Amino acid sequence: MERILYGDNQFFAVNHISDSKSREQAIRFKNNDAIIRTLDYAIDAGITTFMCTTHDRIAQICDVIRANPEKYKDFKIYPCMPYAHKYANAMTELGIAGTIKQYVPGNLFGTMFKGGKAFISKDYVSIMELLIDAEMKMFKGVQTPVIFLQNVITDLLLGLGMVDLLKGFHDHVVKKYNAEAGFITMNMPKLLDTLEGVGITNPIICASINKADFRMSGGQALYEKTLKERKFRAIAMQVLGGGAIAPKEAIEYVCGLPNIESILFGASSKGNIENTVQNIHFFDGK
Amino acid sequence: MVKVALIGAGKMGISHLAILGAHPDVEVVGVCDTSKLVVGALQKYSPFPCFTDYKKMIKEARPDAVFVAVPTKFHYTFVKELLNENIHVFTEKPFCLSSDEGQELAELAESKNRINQVGYHNKFIGTFKEVKRLIENKSLGEIQHFVGEAYGPVVLKKKQDTWRSDPSEGGGCLMDYASHVIDLINDILAPVTVSQGALLKSLYSTNVDDAVYALLGLENNTTGVLSVNWSDETYRKMSTSITIMGTKGKIVSDANELKVYFKDKDCPEDYSKGWNVKYITDLTEQVDFYLRGEEYSAQIDYFVKAVLGKVPNTINTFRSAWHTDRAISIIKMNAKN
């Protein structure tokens, strides 16, 4: 994985501290041109990996990437699935079974043999594989060397103790997509223990890691200890602590931690993208 | 260690179950649901004992506390039975379909001295907690007006019916969405006692309301506006906010950001004249296990601590949820007439 990964929250009005900022972003990135232009700024700044949710609009971004193979020949996407609010809103309205019926492709009890069979035999790993395949369709022809499970699902399965499904995600991604599996979490130490417990060694884990101790469940000290003593490939996200820490200070903290393979960040302007990249290079060089 | 069981493994039930499963002071002794799909998955992949008959679960698993996350129409029967078995109860919102039922359960829980809590999780959000503190300290002076709002993208087109679209089962925007806002108003300002000009609008649903608008009067004679719509696709997810105007200033708060304006220098510590902005990052305490938001873990942790006698059982009690049920029925009556 590259040292710096570019995220997509700013494109889809995801802002952890302000609803009004999130609306500004929705207005700013209303058109896909605005997203592509900003992605190009990131590429100009030397970033070639875009880590994004499987939001409907990403399918349109993938169309642009496929249409310009020369320009994007080194460009990689790390898909993060699923786009959780799509399912959460559906569950409020349709319930759990209704949501699965809506999103598993094909007619569950009819034409899709695997789906129908899986549903009836309660082979949930197969149902999950179908859902993964449905989410992955939009990336056909685009390089996706690492595929992530979003934190809501990772942490839900973690809390429920459904470790076989975490393993099932890992194995399917490796086997079918010849990619590495990654896990996003807000509970990094606990997840690492669990993944190691099912035989996933040296896993890729993307977690909130920041100077402000924001969303680091179990506490900053435990996170630092885990980074120092355990073997896994860490990606630090939310390094600005939702905006609570000044950018330079935030990057200095993360660059000073051991064992952080990559830093994930999002920014909407050319200036902020360039500044963040410069800061990371500066503190990495120290 | 508290032995906890769950009845109803739907969207909220599953979320509670994951948080309970990760809680160091909780042993999950049983999960009960009628859905074969859900029970099948839990049976196959989770470590929790599964049941399809809740009475059998109570008898065999002997829980100290039970989480009830079934459709609202079943709350009364289930909760009453659990309290009579001397079990502590956490139930989802809205509490009951009728105000009489809610009052009876509140009295029963109090007389049996059982820990009772309802899942109005906004009260565990740092920004709203700070709003409550500011109002309690009279920092805004005399309250002149409030606006309670919630918007989100739940029902965006005509679709198949579920219990959420059945008014007799506790569905609809007023019961499901607006209840959160009403509960916040009740808690931060004063219980709702009057509704005027209430409109319950069906935008896409056939049987229930998708939007609620009303003028509300509170027990302390404060007045304000309620505006809630779950068919608003300009929101990515549910967004709840409260605006309060007073003689000394104004508060605008949602779950992420608190903005407070003070007219002069006479204001609380950490605030100054003019606009003050605080973010959830400054106002939220770390939780041991995070899922979807600190407030979901915090409310469960509070309940578990109450069962263990470590905190008083004062936030989101049955009685406070009954006040919210009562406000819902006042708005409904007003809309009908």
Distance from CA of A207 to the nearest CA of B (A): 12
Instruction: Find the domain containing B34 and state its range.
Output: 2-120
Residue B296 in domain: no
Of B120, B149, B169, the last residue of a domain is B120
B329 and B244 assigned to the same domain: yes
Please indicate whether, in this complex, the C-beta atoms of A242 and B282 are within 8 angstroms of each other. Answer: no
Across the interface, whether the CB atoms of B154 and A94 are under 8 A apart is answered no
Residue B160 and residue A155: Cβ atoms within 8 Å?
no
pLDDT at B218: 98
Residue at B307 is within a domain: no
The verdict on B175 and B277 lying in the same domain is: yes
What is the token pair recorded at A35?
A: 């997203």
Per residue in B135-187, pLDDT tens?
999 999 999 999 999 999 988 888 666 666 676 776 799 999 999 999 999 99
CA distance B246 to B146: 9
Q: How far apart are CA B15 and CA B38, in angstroms?
A: 13
pLDDT at B237: 87
Q: How many domains does chain B have?
A: 2
**pLDDT, mean over chain B:** 94
| In-domain check, residue B49 | yes
Q: Give whole-number Cα distances, B62 to A70, B50, B66, in Å.
A: 66, 14, 10
Last residue of a domain, one of B94, B120, B146: B120
State the pLDDT at residue A232: 98
Same domain, B111 and B167: no
- How far, CA to CA in Å, does A9 sit from each of A55, B133, B229? 11, 32, 25
Same domain, B145 and B57: no
Q: What is the DSSP string of B28-69?
A: EEEEE-S-HHHHHHHHHHSSS-EES-HHHHHHHH--SEEEE-
Instruction: Please state whether beta strands B211-218 and B223-229 pair in parallel, antiparallel, or not at all (unpaired).
Output: antiparallel
Contact criterion met (CB < 8 Å) for A97 and B159: no
Listed residues B99, B120, B141: the one ending a domain: B120
Neighbours of B112 (CB within 10 A): 14
Give the DSSP letter string of B192-232.
EEEEEEEEEE-SS-SSS-SEEEEEEEETTS-EEEEEEESB-
Residue of B nearest to A101 (CA): B37
CATH for B90: 3.40.50.720
Q: Does one domain contain both B128 and B112? A: no
Domain co-membership, B129 together with B109:
no
- The domain spanning residue B210 has which CATH number? 3.30.360.10
Closest CA to A93 of A83, A82, A103: A103
Nearest residue to B150 via CA among B168, B174, B117 = B174
What ipTM does the predicted assembly reach? Answer: 0.92
8 Å CB contact of B11 and A91: yes
Full-prediction pTM beyond 0.95? no
Catalogue all structural domains in chain A, each as residue range(s) with its CATH number: 4-87+143-285 (3.20.20.100)
Q: Which of B127, B255, B150, B244 is nearest to A19 (CA)?
A: B255
Nearest partner of B185 among B153, B137, B145, judged by Cα: B145
Whether cis (ω within 30° of 0) applies to the bond prior to A82 is yes
Residue of A8, A16, A93 to mutate, testing the B interface (most B Cβ within 10 Å of its Cβ): A93
Q: What is the DSSP letter of B288?
A: S
Distance, in angstroms, between A122 CA and closest chain B CA?
Answer: 7
Cβ pair A17:B280 closer than 8 A: yes
Tell me the pLDDT of chain A averaged across its residues.
89
Q: Which residue has the tokens 């989101």?
A: B316
Mutate to test the interface with B, among A55, A89, A128, A155 (most CBs of B within 10 A): A89
pLDDT tens track for B83-141: 999 999 999 999 999 889 999 999 999 999 999 999 999 999 999 999 999 999 999 99
Rg of chain A taking only CA atoms, in angstroms: 19
Q: Where are the alpha helices (DSSP H) in A73-208?
A: 84-103, 113-120, 124-136, 151-160, 163-177, 188-197
Q: Which residues of A touch B242 (CB under 8 A)?
A: none
Residues B75 and B190 in one domain: no
Mean pLDDT is highest, among A79-88, B235-244, B280-289, for B235-244
Whether B310 is in a domain gets the answer no
What pLDDT score was predicted for residue A26? 87
Q: Is B149 helix (H, G, I), strand (E, B) or coil?
A: strand
pLDDT digits (tens, 9 = 90+) for B17-27: 999 999 999 99
Whether the CB-CB separation of B143 and B222 falls below 8 Å is answered with: yes
- Measured in whole angstroms, the distance separating CA A4 from the mean position of its chain's CA atoms is 14
Looking at chain B, the whole-number percentage of residues with pLDDT higher than 90 is: 86
Beta strands in chain B (DSSP E): 2-7, 26-32, 50-51, 65-68, 88-91, 116-118, 143-151, 192-201, 211-218, 223-229, 239-246, 249-254, 257-262, 274-279
Q: Measured between CB atoms, does A197 come within 8 Å of chain B?
A: no
Per residue in B300-312, pLDDT (tens digit) is: 999 999 999 999 9
Phi, psi of B213, rounded to the nearest 5 degrees: -130, 135
Closest chain A residue to the Cα of B39, Cα to Cα: A122
Interface A:B, Cβ pairs < 8 A: 140
Q: Which residue of B has its CA nearest to A245?
A: B281
The answer to whether residue B299 sits within a structural domain is: no
- In this structure, the answer to whether residues B39 and B156 fall within a common structural domain is no
The span from the CA of A117 to the CA of B76, in Å, is: 39
Q: How far apart are the first and last CA of chain A?
A: 21
Q: Does B106 map to a domain?
A: yes
Indicate yes or no: CB of A219 within 8 angstroms of CB of B286: yes
| One domain for residues B59 and B157 | no
B155: chain A residues, CB-CB within 8 Å? 93
In a domain, B198, yes or no: yes
- Asked if B141 and B270 sit in the same domain, the reply is yes
- Reference A90, options A101, A99, A80; nearest CA is A99
Which pLDDT value is given to residue B158?
A: 81
Q: Is A165 on the interface with B (CB under 8 A)?
A: yes
Chain B residue with CA closest to A155: the answer is B291
> Exposed, middle or buried: residue B213 (CB in 10 Å: 0-12, 13-18, 19+)?
middle
Q: Cβ A214–B281 below 8 Å, yes or no? A: yes
Residue B104 sits in the same domain as residue B187:
no
Per-residue pLDDT of chain A (286 residues; tens, 9 = 90+): 999 999 998 898 787 778 888 888 888 899 999 999 999 999 999 999 999 999 889 999 999 999 999 999 999 999 999 887 777 767 766 777 777 777 766 544 443 444 455 555 557 888 889 889 989 999 999 999 999 999 999 999 999 999 999 999 999 999 999 999 999 999 999 999 999 999 999 999 999 999 999 999 999 999 999 999 999 999 999 998 877 789 999 999 999 999 999 999 999 999 999 999 999 999 999 8
Q: Does A242 touch chain B (CB under 8 A)?
A: yes
Judgement on whether residues B19 and B47 belong to the same structural domain of the protein: yes
Domain contains B227: yes
How far is the C-alpha of A260 from the C-alpha of B100, rounded, in Å? Answer: 57
How close is the nearest chain A Cα to the Cα of B296, in Å?
A: 12
The strand pairing partners of B27, in sequence order, are B3
